Amino acid sequence: MRVAVVGLGWAGRTIWLPRLAAHPAFRVTAVVEPGPVAAEHVPEGAELLADADLLGPDVDLAVVAVPNHLHTPVAERLLARGIPVFLEKPVCLSAAEADRLAAAERAGGAVLLAGSAARYREDVSALIEVAAEIGPIRHVDLAWVRASGVPDAGGWFTSRRHSGGGALVDLGWHLLDTAATVLGGPVRFLDVLGSVSADFVNDGARSAGWRGTEGPDGEGDVEDTARGFLTTDTGVSVAVRASWASHEPVDTTRITVEGATGSATLVCTFGFSPNRRVPRLTRTRDGVTTDVPLHRESVGAEYVRQLDALPALLADPASRGAAVTQAHYTISVIERLYAGARAPRPRLADEATALAV
């Protein structure tokens, strides 16, 4: 497949470009980046373009990894021209943007696929298998907490206008996608409560140094931590925490699934941070906890596995509209969490009156 990589920020040049170049199913024929590009980032035989609108009809797939606020505008134009798009998360920054992507997909007859690497992790797949054995599921608790990992402090990542939000949009997208996978698909949330805080986002010492972004203190206006509690129309509760930085010593992803006949907990580290946990999956039943064997895989293996799946997804008629539907679901939950977190709280006097009533 002839692939164009659109955007050479950290994700484009570190995650996608080297993996696409090494994958036997793909050939990178174009790289799109408006700014200066080092020669080593342009594969041999690939064309360097300054704008995605210059891509020709001979492109089989455009992998779009531009800053968040450009995801929808760039993907929308490519889809409308009939060019299939693989779009990094967050796919969109609002439900309205999801509707625009759906319209462009229909107009151009192309397919939109979305980045959702967490569901391609082997340890997550193993957790889902165990969860199926302890059902019905009553509660899911998901947390991705970094010790220090604010991305691009002072850059577009910490600007709400360009990123759409902080840790909730960035890490929380993966967690909500994982929750949907564990629960067997998108579910209807009746109640959504959220809170956000920003204790670390402008502390340069809390930057994600492994991304090459250590620097001075920033002026970000997004949260570094978001917490949410949700309940579904079937009575399942879901707790979510996403933190770019914390007081913890190690970057940790922890997912616990509580069922009627037992519980399962996966402790690992999503993403590429070198400050990570060795994955461990346990099952607890009747007071006894046992380890579930896991295959040790290299960091980032889930991204290669996702590339393995792309050709079949592009060829499957059922893929059309599926990613947009999932993205609409995810961003709608995020919007509700933000709305709840930013809503004015009642004054103490009002609370006392309400309690008296």
What are the pLDDT digits (tens) for 185-241?
889 999 999 999 999 999 988 998 877 755 556 789 999 999 999 999 999 999 999
- Residue 5 and residue 64: Cα distance in Å, rounded? 6
Contact 100, 335 (CB under 8 A): no
> Residue 61: how many CB atoms within 10 A of its CB?
23
Q: Is 311 within the bounds of a domain?
A: no
Alpha helices in 10-94 (DSSP H): 10, 17-22, 71-80
The answer to whether residues 110 and 159 belong to one domain is no
Distances in whole angstroms, Cα of residue 297 to Cα of each of 105, 133, 190, 199, 345: 35, 24, 37, 34, 46
271-329 pLDDT tens trace: 999 999 999 999 999 999 999 999 989 999 999 999 999 999 999 999 999 999 999 99
Residue 217 placed within a domain: yes
Least confident of 21-35, 240-254, 282-296, 342-356: 342-356
Share of the chain above pLDDT 90, in %: 83
Q: Is residue 306 part of a domain?
A: no
Instruction: Give the three-state DSSP class for 101.
Output: helix
| 96 is a domain residue | yes
Count up the domains in the chain and report the number.
2
pTM for this predicted structure? 0.93
Nearest CA to 66 among 86, 83, 84? Answer: 86
> Is 126 in the same domain as 246?
yes
Token pair in block for residue 22: 């090494």
Domain assignment present for 332: no
The residue whose two tokens read 């917490």 is: 227
Question: Could you tell me if 93 and 162 lie in one domain?
Answer: no
